[in-house]
Structure formats: structure tokens, C-alpha cells
Amino acid sequence: MLYEYGLTIPANTSKSAPVSAEVPVSPGRLVRVLILFPLGHRGYTHAWIQRGEHRLFPSDPEETFVGDGHIIDWPEDYVLDDIPYTFKVYGYNDDDSYQHTIYFHFAIIPLVAVGARAAAGGWLAKLKEALT
């Protein structure tokens, strides 16, 4: 499942009072994260992702994602198997004239599929062992 959320950050949004939003997702395994900074951000907008009060990406609380016309994209292996099934995205904007929108994408394999894969792998391993 692919989840997308656009976080619009008004001009002059300070680091000490960032904009945030809850992004509801399904339980599962987070396998890819993508953050899009459209052209025009000029390094003014900053973003990070948390789950509850726990800082996930980037993990260093002093760091943020920043960009202008590029995508930050990485494979991930993070299990969401407890409530709430949400990520919280944050951003601030040093631009004194314009609001900017950052787009967050989360690719999640549902827990049912993860469990089925594990069960199939275990069953196949037992069958292979029995046949050899």
C-alpha cells in the first residue's frame, strides 16, 4: 500500500513552532520512504518524521531533511504493529514570502502479507528439509 501526504508550511514558520500532521496508515512493514521537495523551496523548508514522540527520520534530532527540486528516497524495514498506526510529519519554513508543500510517501506491506510470506517461507523450508 502506498500512502501520500502533502504538508503545506506557511511562510515564516519557525523551527520552534513547526507545522505537523498525522498521517494514518495500515499496520504492516514500512519498506520505502520518499520525500519530495518541489522546485522553489531553495533550502528554506525543513522536514522530519516521528511516530508518537519518537523521532524516526532523520534519527538525529538536530538534523532535518531539506531540498529544492529533488527527492529523498530510501529503502526501510520498520514494523508498525502497534496502535496508533500513524506517522507524524513535521516541517518549518524559513522563507519570509511564500508557503511551501513537502510531499511524503510511505510504502507499506500489510501485516497479513508479511505473516503469509513468513509462514510460506517456514513451510517451504520444512518441505525442503523433509525431501533432502
pLDDT in tens, 15-68: 999 999 999 999 999 999 999 999 999 999 999 999 989 999 999 999 999 999
pTM, two decimals, is 0.83
Chain-centroid distance, C-alpha 123: 32
Contacts (Cβ under 8 Å, ≥6 apart) of 126 = none
Strands (E), 1-132: 2-9, 19-24, 28-37, 45-51, 54-57, 65-66, 70-80, 86-93, 100-110
